[in-house]
Structure 1
C-alpha cells in the first residue's frame, strides 16, 4: 500500500524500530501469540463446519459433544493467546513511549537556547505529550490490530479457496474495489492527520501561553480578546479534525459496503448451491464465517490505517525534535582541560555577535576585554547595549561569529559546555525557581549538598529568616516559578543557590534592580560574601550599586567605549557622566 512505502512513513517506521528493537524478543513473543490466535480463529471455521455437518445434520449426540469439546478447546486457546498478545503489546507500547519521551526530553534540555527562539515551548510540550500518547495507542493496540487483521485476511482468503474456489472468486473480484479507496483516501487521511495534529498543538500552545501569563491577561482585561482568539484557534482545529474524520468515515464506509456487498452476493450463490446439493450446509456455514472474517478484517485495516497515518505524522513531528541539531557541542577531541578550580581569568578578543533570529543586527561589535582573576567588573550602558549577551556568550549559550573568548587561556570552543559552566554561578534579574521544595531549589546546582550547607548558604543570603517562618521551613513546596514569594525573597534564594554552587566566577545580572529598598539592602549585605574570592561580573543600571567595583566597563551599541573606575569615567566618558547625572541628580 502507499502508506507503507511513502518517504515519511519509512521515516516513521525507522524511528519506531529504533525504540522497539531493544524489546524485539517481547515483540517476537507477541507476534507468535498473534499468529497462534489468528490461526485458532481461522480454524474455528472448520469447527463450525463439524458442528453443523456432524452434530446438527447427523442428529448424533456423540458427534455433537465431540464437536463442541473441540470448539471449547479452541476458545480456551484463543483466550490464552489473546491475553499473552494483549499484555506484551500493551507493555511494549507503554515502554517504547516512555523511552521516546526520555530521549526527546534528554535531547531538548541539551539544545542551545537559540533553538527556542524559533520554536514555541508549549508546542514542543504538545509534541512530547500528545504525539507520544498517539504513538502509544498505535504501538500498544492499533499496530497489533493491523497485523492481526492482515493475517486474518490472508489466511481467510486461503481457506476460502480451500473451502470453495467458485464462491471465493466472487470475493476476490471485489478486492480491487476495496483496495482502490484505501490507496486514494489513505493519502488524504495522512495529510489531513498532520494538519489536525498541528492545529491541536496550536490549541495547547495558546492555553499554556495565556494561563502562564494570567495576571497580565486579567490586569489588562484582555479576556474577551483571548476568548475570541482561542475560539478561532479551536475552530481551526475542529475544521481540520472534521475534514480528517470525513475522509476516514468515507474510507470505512466504502470498504464495509463493498466487502459486505460481496458477502451478500456470495450468500445468494452459496444458498443456491446448498439447495441444489452441490455443497453441504457446514461448508456454506464455514465459508460465510471466513467471508465475514475477511470482510471485518478489511474494515478494521481501513479504520486502523487512519490511526497509522496519524502515528506517522506524530512520529515525523517527534523525529523533527530528535533531529534538531545542537549548535553548541563539545569538540570531538578535547585537547585542553580546565583545572579543578579555575582562578577566574577571562579574555574577550574582538568579539562580534548577532542572534541567529536577527542576523542583520550586530549585538556586539569588535569588543575586546580582559577580566583578571578575583576582579569585580561592572558592565553598564543603555538597554540593548549587549551586556546580557556577554553573559550568554560566557556561558556558551551561543558562540560568537567573530573573535574568541578564553578562560584560563583556553578558548571556550575547545571545552565541553558542561565543564565550562561548572565555573559559573548566575544570579539573574528574574531568577528561575522550579516547582518543588525550597531545599530542592537551593540544591539545584549542587544536589549532593548537606542540610547544614544548605542552611549556611541561606543564612549568608539572609534567606534563613523568612524560610523558617514558613509552615514547613526548607521543605515548603513552592508554586510554579516560585509563585507566592516576593521579588526580594526570590532573589535571596537565588543568591543562596549561587553560594551553594561555590563557583569561581559569579555573574550578577541586574540582581537588585527590581527590588524595594529593604530587600535591596538585605541583598547588598549578602553580596560581599557571595563575591569574596571570586571573579565577579555585574550588570547594573543603578550606578550606586557598582561605584565600588574594581573597574567599570561602559558598553554602547555593542562596543566597549570606556573602562575605568567610577571617578575616572565621570571625568572622562560623556555617556557614563550622563547616566550618573540622571541617577544622582547632579551636574557633571
Structure 2
C-alpha cells in the first residue's frame, strides 16, 4: 500500500510537470516556438531548454517509479545510490535558470510580451527541480520494503552495541581492532543497555526510527532547557541586536566610500562615521550579554542532563552493571555530557547569529543589486549538497570516535582501579600497549575526520573564490554601465565575504552539531533505558518479623540466561533462627543472598518475607530491615564515621561507636590518629581486609536490622577477631533472622539449620550433628576442612551424586537412608 501511494504521488507530480512545462513554453498553444527556438536560438530569450529540463525530470521520475514497482528491493537501492547525482542534476538546472533570468533582464530588447511566460517557466523550473529532489529523497525511498528497512540495523537503528563485544576485543593488535571497528557499522556506539537479542534490537529500532535524526536530539535538548528560558530570551535578544547592528556596517562602509569619492555625497561620510561608531559600541555590549546568557543557560543544561543521566543509571537493575563496564558509564557521565553542553553552547550561539546575519545580508544585497545577489546565491545549493554528504559521513565518524574513547576509558579505569594486581603480575607494559592500541584506533578515526574536513574545506573554499571572482568581474561591468556605484559595489563585496563567512560558520556548526548529536543520542538512550525490573513495591508494614521462605526458586543471571544457577530451591528461616547456606563454591549460595536483597528476580518461584513476595516491599523500607555484609565489602572514600552511618540521617556518635564495639572494630579505630574521622581511601584501601570487614559489619549492625545477611562476612578476619566478632553477632542475633554463607565450620556449626546447596540444588538440610551422622556431602566438606583431605575431581562428582541419592533415599525411609549412607561411606573408603 505504501509503495503504490508513493508511486501515485510521483506520477501525479510528473504529469503536472509535463503539463505546465508545455503550457508555459508554448504560451498555451503557440507551437511555432519550437522551430523559432531550434533554428534561431537566443540564450537570453529562448526557453526551449527549460522545456527539455521538464521532459528530463518526467522521464527520470517515471522510470524510477516503474523500476521500484517491478523490483522494490533493487529499485530502492538504486534510488538511494542515485540520490546525489539526481540532486546535482537539479542544482545545475536551478543555476542555469538563474543565470538565464539574470541575463534576460539585463539585455531585454523592449518587447515585454514574453516576460510573464519566460519568468513563469523559469520559476516553475526551479520549483519543480527542488520538488523532484524532495520526492526522490522523502517519497521514493519510503517505498523500500518494510522488512528491509526494519532489518537494516545501522548505527542509528541499533543505537548501541553490546558491551560484551567490546570486552572481547583483543588489545594485542591495534590494526586488527581498528579494522573491526571500521568495517562494522554497528560499532558506532557503546552498548550500555546490553540487549543481545536481535528481536529486541529490531523492536528498539522501530521505536526509535523517528528519533535517530540529529535534529530530534537537538529539540530534546531544547526541551531540557525550558527552565532556562530567561537566560535564553536575554541571550537571543542580545544576539539579535548584535547581528542586526553588524548587518549595517558594510552598507555604511560603502556610503562612507561614496562620500569620499563623490563630491555631492560628502554628508554621507560624516553621518556614516558617526553611525558606525555608535553601532559598534552597541554590538560590543550586546555580544557580551549574549555570550554570558547563553553560556549560563548551557551550564545549567549540563548540570540538569548529567543529573538525569546519573539518576537513570542508579535506577538500573544490577544485571545492567554486570555486563556494562564502569568506564563506558563514566564516559557517558563525563565526556559525552561535556561534549553535548559545550558544543551546543558554542555552536548554538554561532548558528543563531549566522542565520540572522545571513538573512539581513541577503536582503540588503538584493536591495543593492539583485543581479549580483543571484550570482552569489549560485554557490548555495552546491555547498548544501557537499555539506549534506560530509555531515552524514562526519556523524558516523564522530560516533565511532566516542566509542573508541569509551573503550580507552574502560582500559584506563580498569587498570588504575586494580594497580596492585597489575603490579603483582608486572604487566605495566602490557596494559600500556593495550591502552595505546585503543588510543591508536581513536587516532585513525580522527585522521579520517581530519582528511574529510580538509577535503570539505578545499571544495567550499574553491566555490567561494570562484563566486567572488565572477561577482567582481560582473560588478565592475555594472559600475561601468552606471547601474551601480563604486561604494555600493564595495558594500556588496563585503556582504558577500561576510555571507561566505556565515556559510562556513554554519558548515562548521553542522559538523559540531553532528558530534553533539552523536553524544546526546548515547546519553538519551541511557536516560530512556528502562530496567528489566523495577523496585515498584509499596508495601511498608509496621510489623516486619523477617520470616523467610524460598519457594521453588529457579534463577539464572541476565548475563548467562542459558545457565541456571538455582534449580527449584526451597527452604525457610524463622525470626530468631540462624540459617547457614553451605556447599561447594559456585553452587548458588551467594545468589540466594542476592535474591533476598531483590538485586535480581527469580526465573520462577518466589522469595517470600512474612508471606509476601520480596518485590512487593518498598525499596527503601526493605533495605532498612535487611542488612548485608559481603565477602568483599566496599567502603567509600570517606571517614570511618561516614562509612558506618552510610545512608542514615542524624546517626549519633554513640550509636556508631556501639555498633563498632559489637563488630570488634572500636579498638583499632581508636588507635588510628584521627579515630572515627580517619579517611578510608578509595574503596577502603587505607584499611586492611580484616579492618574493612569489621567496619562493614558495624555498618550493618548500626541499622539494627530485622534480617541480617552474612556472606562470608568474617573470611578476612584472623581467628581471634573472628571469635570476638562472632560472639558479638551471636549476642545481637536476638529475634533477627540471620542467613549466613560460610565455609568455615566454626561459623556454621551452631546454626539452627544448615542448607547444603550443590550446583544450584538443595541436597541436604538439618542441624550440624544430624548432617554429620547423615554422612553426605556436608560431612565430606567438614571432614575435608578438619583433616585437610583432598580428592580429585572425579571423587568430588561421585560424592555429589551420592549426596543427592542419599537425600532422595532419606526422604523415603530414614532408617534405610542411614544404612545406605554407611554403605556408601564404606565404598568410598575402599
Indicate the TM-score class for this superposition, using the shorter chain for normalisation: over 0.9
**Among 371, 383, 386, which residue is 1:178 paired with?**
383
Q: Which moved more, 1:111-120 or 1:267-276?
A: 267-276
Work out which of the two has the higher radius of gyration on C-alpha atoms and give 1 or 2: 2
2:517 maps to 312
**Would you say the 8 A contact 1:8–1:316 is kept in 2?**
no
- Distance apart, 1:418 and its partner CA: 2.7
Normalising to structure 1: TM-score of the pair?
0.95
* 1:440 pairs with 2:642: yes
In structure 2, distance between residues paired with 1:413 and 1:14:
37
Question: Secondary structure, in 3 states, of the residue corresponding to 2:647?
Answer: coil
- Distance apart, 1:276 and its partner CA: 5.0
**Would you say the 8 A contact 1:15–1:315 is kept in 2?**
no
**Among 242, 252, 255, which residue is 2:447 paired with?**
242
1:382 maps to 584
Aligned ranges 1:477-556 → 2 under 5 Å: 477-556=679-758
**Would you say the 8 A contact 1:89–1:140 is kept in 2?**
yes
- Distance apart, 1:64 and its partner CA: 3.5
> Structure 1 residues 291 and 60, CA, compared in 2 at 3 Å: closer, same or farther?
closer
- Distance apart, 1:532 and its partner CA: 3.3
Q: Which moved more, 1:286-295 or 1:323-332?
A: 323-332
Aligned ranges 1:443-482 → 2 under 5 Å: 443-482=645-684
- Distance apart, 1:527 and its partner CA: 2.2
**Among 247, 254, 270, which residue is 2:475 paired with?**
270
In structure 1, distance between residues paired with 2:671 and 2:232:
56
Aligned ranges 1:322-471 → 2 under 5 Å: 322-331=527-536, 334=538, 337-471=539-673
In structure 2, distance between residues paired with 1:141 and 1:554:
63
In structure 2, distance between residues paired with 1:350 and 1:375:
21
Structure 2 alignment gaps of length 5 or more: 1-133, 138-155, 157-209, 790-824, 826-830
Q: How many residues align?
A: 584
**Would you say the 8 A contact 1:346–1:406 is kept in 2?**
yes
1:298 maps to 503
**Would you say the 8 A contact 1:495–1:530 is kept in 2?**
no
* 1:208 pairs with 2:413: yes
**Would you say the 8 A contact 1:505–1:535 is kept in 2?**
yes
Question: Secondary structure, in 3 states, of the residue corresponding to 2:581?
Answer: strand
In structure 2, distance between residues paired with 1:80 and 1:152:
17
Q: Which of structures 1 and 2 has the larger relative contact order (alpha carbons within 8 angstroms, sep 6+)?
A: 1
> Structure 1 residues 167 and 6, CA, compared in 2 at 3 Å: closer, same or farther?
farther
- Distance apart, 1:440 and its partner CA: 1.3
Q: Which moved more, 1:549-558 or 1:410-419?
A: 410-419
**Among 181, 187, 191, which residue is 2:392 paired with?**
187
1:153 maps to 358
Looking at secondary structure, tell me which structure has more helix per residue. Answer: 2
Question: Secondary structure, in 3 states, of the residue corresponding to 1:561?
Answer: strand
**Would you say the 8 A contact 2:663–2:695 is kept in 1?**
yes
**Would you say the 8 A contact 1:445–1:497 is kept in 2?**
no
1:41 maps to 246
> Structure 1 residues 416 and 261, CA, compared in 2 at 3 Å: closer, same or farther?
farther
**Would you say the 8 A contact 1:195–1:240 is kept in 2?**
yes
- Distance apart, 1:131 and its partner CA: 0.4
In structure 2, distance between residues paired with 1:506 and 1:364:
21
* 1:7 pairs with 2:209: no
> Structure 1 residues 547 and 445, CA, compared in 2 at 3 Å: closer, same or farther?
farther
- Distance apart, 1:66 and its partner CA: 2.9
Q: Deviations over 1:340-360 (max 9, x none)?
A: 351111111110111111111
**Would you say the 8 A contact 1:353–1:365 is kept in 2?**
yes
**Would you say the 8 A contact 1:424–1:505 is kept in 2?**
yes
Q: Which moved more, 1:71-80 or 1:449-458?
A: 449-458
> Structure 1 residues 159 and 529, CA, compared in 2 at 3 Å: closer, same or farther?
farther
In structure 1, distance between residues paired with 2:582 and 2:483:
100
In structure 2, distance between residues paired with 1:243 and 1:81:
39
- Distance apart, 1:75 and its partner CA: 0.9
- Distance apart, 1:99 and its partner CA: 0.6
In structure 2, distance between residues paired with 1:257 and 1:6:
35
Question: Secondary structure, in 3 states, of the residue corresponding to 1:368?
Answer: strand
Q: Deviations over 1:323-356 (max 9, x none)?
A: 2211231448x5xx33235111111111011111
Question: Secondary structure, in 3 states, of the residue corresponding to 2:710?
Answer: strand
* 1:230 pairs with 2:448: no
In structure 2, distance between residues paired with 1:556 and 1:75:
82
Q: Which moved more, 1:464-473 or 1:54-63?
A: 54-63
**Would you say the 8 A contact 1:160–1:290 is kept in 2?**
yes
Aligned ranges 1:48-67 → 2 under 5 Å: 48-55=253-260, 57-58=262-263, 63-67=268-272
**Would you say the 8 A contact 2:536–2:619 is kept in 1?**
no
Q: Which moved more, 1:577-586 or 1:91-100?
A: 577-586
Aligned ranges 1:562-581 → 2 under 5 Å: 562-581=764-783
Q: Which moved more, 1:58-67 or 1:307-316?
A: 58-67
In structure 1, distance between residues paired with 2:268 and 2:373:
29
**Among 488, 511, 520, which residue is 1:283 paired with?**
488
**Would you say the 8 A contact 1:252–1:303 is kept in 2?**
no
**Would you say the 8 A contact 1:338–1:408 is kept in 2?**
no
1:557 maps to 759
Q: Which moved more, 1:151-160 or 1:126-135?
A: 151-160
**Would you say the 8 A contact 2:256–2:272 is kept in 1?**
yes
Question: Secondary structure, in 3 states, of the residue corresponding to 1:28?
Answer: helix
In structure 1, distance between residues paired with 2:272 and 2:595:
80
Structural RMSD (CA) = 2.2
> Structure 1 residues 18 and 500, CA, compared in 2 at 3 Å: closer, same or farther?
farther
In structure 2, distance between residues paired with 1:154 and 1:257:
23
1:585 maps to 787
Q: Deviations over 1:391-433 (max 9, x none)?
A: 1111111111111111111112323333322221111111110
- Distance apart, 1:147 and its partner CA: 2.2
> Structure 1 residues 284 and 550, CA, compared in 2 at 3 Å: closer, same or farther?
same
